[in-house]
Amino acid sequence: MRERWVRTGGVELCVAEAGDARRPTVVLIHGYPDSKEVWSEVAGRLAGEHGFHVVLYDVRGHGRSSAPSPLRGGFTLEKLTDDFLAVVDEVGPGGPVHVVGHDWGSVQAWEFVTVRRTEGRIASFTSISGPSLDHMALWRRQRASRPTPRALAQLLRQNVRSWYVYALHTPVLPERAWRGPLGRAWPGMLARREKVTGGGYPTPSLPDDAAHGTWLYRDNVRTRMSRPRPDAYAHAPVQLIVPDGDPYLSRWLYDGLEKWAPGLTRRSLAAGHWVPRTRPDQLSSWIADFVRVHEAAPETASEEASGEATPPAGDSVADTATVPAEVAAPGKVPAAGPTLARVPGSGPYAERFGGRLVLVTGAASGIGRATALAFAVAGARVVAVDLDAEGAARTAERARSLGAASAWSEQADVADESAMEKLAGKVAGEYGVVDVLVNNAGIGVAGPFLETAPEDWRRVLDVNLWGVIHGCRLFGRQMAERGQGGHIVNIASAAAYQPLKSLSAYGTSKAAVLMLSQSLRAELAGRDIGVTAVCPGIVNTGITATTRFTGVDAAEERRLRRKSARLYRLRNYAPEKVAEAILRAVVRDIAVVPVTPEARGALLMSRFAPKLLRGISRLEPPL
């Protein structure tokens, strides 16, 4: 990276740049107790594969930047804003920049994007794990003024999470701790708690950085929390990225944020606090997408509006929309400058899956197609895989029309090891490492055990079990090697725990998938890779049209297929409901998901009334 020094307000700031300066500029601002090196992984991706001009700087008193003297009063938000403007004047004179902040970098960037003197200088803002102090103070006041049990519980929980804020206001002790045992222990603590290791981070300056940074809290928190600005409205589009596992900041702290940032785009990650180190691929992708959207959007002059208004009908935290001149607050407030273009994804799951890469096998029809389309609606990038190439292509085309960020189709037989290896190599090389894998492809076999031929057993196990094994092994290994988490969904069946005569082969394959999933979940938990087994009951799909009925002639097999198809149509449980359960299970990281009432009932009986379940097994199966 290229380095330069910027002098402002009695300090010298160390500024690093990467990428082509003629490209859009992205400014990355670190938090506490970090230095700019926390961004090294994200910066490399933004400058390299995404082609942006990337700027990082050490906040005053951190890294290689000098500290103000005296420290007291040297870290106010006003002075941090002066520093930001000095940096962008130096590296991007005359044009707006895209700002990304993490932790205290986000806290101070909220100041930048809500004060008048920075209007026109910020093209977009991505906030990660750092709320506006004004918004946080008003959030607390609102809940304290309406002390419902839920509001009080939220306040209490956030107060507990904010314990360190109170500790950092203690005189002298925090500095001594950071320059003593805490500073020495910190790298190991990050490695154990968040799996943050290596890459030149944390830097040797950490003890002094942390000691100086205590004044970020002392100079700002009490003052701003006691006297929040009532007009802290964002004058640039905002993307909020919320790590679900953040131990310091609760998700509900951002409730109502769209009032302050109309057209807010909200994303979430299954991760802890230090996502610039643990999830650089996903962060850089979301940041790049947001920058591209707002670089392409036409700009309108910033203007003032008065009067009382409310956000536009249908405004969603999962999308961006054109921001009106008036926003939801009385009095004079600035309107958003740029006209916001739409970010892909809608509905309740866009926050989690927008822009993420999802691969679904057996995607030409049934549950696989419904699942691929559900992820598409949420704005994911979808790879539809099926032996039926035309069916997979139709699914991909439909996915694109429903809002998928991108969608592709691939032909592969999941039972063919070499074909799956080629598929995994192609997907990784052309689309990237899969974030969510759905092993859905499966076939049906029904008939008495004694009349089920070895070739029938081999085929059902090759597709239903080995297809899942191939997917888990190949794509799961890629997830593990990337080291940034992921999720695997294996479609089993209620037949995995509900024995039925004439379904011995099918039930065996699905029971094996269920046990594989639970064992793999335990193995991959330490790598932040979730594994879910989904167990549908009778779902109205086309599986009956291809089910192999053993021990009968062709005419009888056709009759049995028609009979089974009629039963499934009468049951009429839509595959879209299974798809909804799959997305919900990934978000919540659920181990086993029975779908349909009969599947849930059978699972309960398998645990509490197994003898009754075995009695039911003597009935004729639906297949």
Helices 454-461 and 504-524 sit at what angle, rounded to 10 degrees? 30
Q: Return the sign of the alpha-carbon dihedral for residues 277, 281, 286, 292.
A: positive
From CA 559, how far away is CA 280, in angstroms rounded?
Answer: 55
Q: Which residues in 2-161 belong to E strands, given as ranges?
A: 2-8, 11-18, 25-29, 53-57, 97-102, 122-128
Left (φ > 0), alpha (ψ -120 to 50) or beta: where does 502 sit? left
Contact 374, 583 (CB under 8 A): yes
Pairing of strands 53-57, 11-18: antiparallel
Could you tell me how many residues make up the chain? 623
From CA 446, how far away is CA 176, in angstroms rounded?
Answer: 72
Site of tokens 């904010």: 162
How is 119-172 classified by DSSP, letter by letter? TTTEEEEEEES---HHHHHHHHHHHHHS--HHHHHHHHHHHHHTHHHHHHTSSS
Structure tokens at 432: 């990237």
End-to-end C-alpha distance for the chain, whole angstroms: 63
From CA 586, how far away is CA 88, in angstroms rounded?
Answer: 40
Contact 407, 376 (CB under 8 A): yes
From CA 530, how far away is CA 509, in angstroms rounded?
Answer: 21
From 75, 299, 364, select the one nearest 209 (Cα to Cα).
75
Residues 6+ away with beta carbon under 8 Å from 46: 19, 26, 52, 54, 284, 287, 288
Q: Return the sign of the alpha-carbon dihedral for residues 466, 468, 471, 473.
A: negative
φ and ψ of 411, to 5 deg = -100, 130
Catalytic residues: 506
Long-range contacts of 175-180 (CB under 8 A, 24+ apart): 175/211, 175/214, 178/33, 178/206, 178/207, 178/210, 178/211, 178/214, 179/207, 179/208, 179/211
From CA 426, how far away is CA 70, in angstroms rounded?
Answer: 57
- Considering only the C-alpha atoms of the chain, give the largest distance between any 2 of them, rounded to a whole number of Å: 92
φ and ψ of 237, to 5 deg = -65, 145
Left (φ > 0), alpha (ψ -120 to 50) or beta: where does 215 sit? alpha
Burial of 522 (0-12, 13-18, 19+ CB in 10 A): exposed
Residues 6+ away with beta carbon under 8 Å from 223: none
From CA 66, how far away is CA 314, in angstroms rounded?
Answer: 48
Amino acid at 581: A
Contact 463, 470 (CB under 8 A): no
